[in-house]
Amino acid sequence: MSKSDDALDLSIEAAIEAIEFHPVFEEIGPPEDSASGASTGLDASTGLDASSKSRKSLRNKTPKSRRKPRKAVREFFLSRAFSQSLGVVGESLITLGVIVMLFLGWQLWINDVIISNESGAVAVQNAEKWTTPNATKGPNSTSATPTTAGPIDYGPAPVMSKAGADEVFGNFYIPRLGNDYIKVAAEGVDAEGTLNRGYFGHYPDSQEPGESGNMAFAVHRAGHGSPFRAAPQLRTGDLIVLQTAEGYYQYRVRNMEYVMPTEVSVVSAVPGESSQAVEGQSLLTITTCNPELGDNERLITYAVFVGWQPLDAGPPKEIASMVKA
């Protein structure tokens, strides 16, 4: 047995003794010879601490029948099996704590970087696929109807056909959140199929791009690439562009609100009053978690459709530098 084991045994023995002879755990009353020093705590004849004297007398007066179980308890606590079991439990708890910390590090940092890079690569591939090489001239587009002044009217926005489950169908560009902010839009809000890949997941029952009503998306705030971590930076009037195989659908942020997770009306065709939506309007609604590292609430962003332009007209000038040709 090592020195540290000896020290541990001694300290455990001292603790057991202190418990055994503590007045609270004793059923028998204080010894008669300590009565005279009870008021001061010192024995009148010897000047010793009355409690230490009473412990000795208690030890002598304790019946053998009561001392045997205590001895067994003491031997159990002092046994090698007990100390080894305690060590295994302690080391297991430390191991569990390390695994939990590793998991948090993986989820919030390592996996975040991996997913962000993967979804970023998919977004760039989409942009390359959908961007026409000669399409930055805008007004020269054949589908445009030139007007004497103001923005070009490309007619009503085409309604995109419904994509298959988990199918990637677009790219989101939000200049306010950075010149490299390009995120993938996919069909469905399944965790494995879309959201955990860092994509904006389109609620299947909500409207399609170009359709009047509410086109709603869900996206992770933190973790899984943290695609919408910077959501609170958005301001009224900020541009959000959805690029699809049809063209560029442009929306302007109108307002944001915090709701409870059960407030499912935010993704309905005409959301509640706080969305300021009216019948027949084309809305974009994005739901994400709030607070950043929790999910007690949802942060809702409402944006209004302001126009569209076909792919061969090139990207809107606000995102021209973001779109990879």
Which chain residues interact with another protein by CB under 8 A? Answer: 87-88, 91-92, 99, 102-103, 106-107, 110-111, 189, 191-192, 195-196, 201, 218-221, 223-224, 259, 261-264, 266-267, 287-289, 295, 298
Q: How far is the CB of 59 from another protein (least distance, A)?
A: 38
- Convert 123-132 to b/e letters by CB count within 10 Å (16 or more is b): beebbeebbe
**Close Cβ partners of 122 (under 8 Å, ≥ 6 residues apart):** 168, 184
Q: How far is the CB of 209 from another protein (least distance, A)?
A: 20
* Residue closer to another protein (CB basis): 155 or 204: 204
Residue-wise DSSP of 220-247: -SSSTT-TTTTGGG--TT-EEEEE-SSE
Whether residue 304 contacts residue 251, with contact meaning beta carbons closer than 8 Å, is answered with: yes
**Residue number, 53 or 224, with CB nearest to another protein:** 224
CB of 206 to another protein, least distance (A): 11
Q: How big is the chain by its Cα radius of gyration, in Å?
A: 36
Q: Which is nearer to another protein, 256 or 322 (CB)?
A: 256
CA pair distance 71, 77, nearest whole angstrom: 10
* CB count in 10 Å sphere of residue 50: 22
Q: Given the complex with another protein, which of 201 and 314 has the nearer CB atom? A: 201
Could you please report the per-residue DSSP string of 276-320?
A: T--TT-EEEEEEEEESTT--SEEEEEEEEEEEEEEGGG---GGGT
Q: SS3 of 106, please?
A: helix
Q: What is the β-pairing status of strands 182-187 and 200-202?
A: parallel
**Nearer to another protein among residue 110 and residue 159 (C-beta):** 110
- In the numeric block, the tokens 């962000």 are attached to 116
In the complex, least distance from residue 194 CB atom to another protein, rounded to whole angstroms: 9
Strand segments (E) across the chain: 168-173, 182-187, 200-202, 213-218, 239-243, 247-259, 282-290, 297-310
Closest approach of another protein to the CB of residue 89, in Å:
10
Least distance from another protein to the Cβ atom of residue 308, Å: 27
* Structural tokens at position 50: 């009355």
Minimum separation from the CB atom of position 227 to another protein (A): 10
Indicate the residue among 130 and 200 with the shorter CB distance to another protein.
200
Sign of CA dihedral 236, 249, 208, 196: negative
138 versus 213: smaller Cβ distance to another protein: 213
> Smallest distance, Å, CB 279 to another protein?
21
Q: Which is nearer to another protein, 107 or 179 (CB)?
A: 107
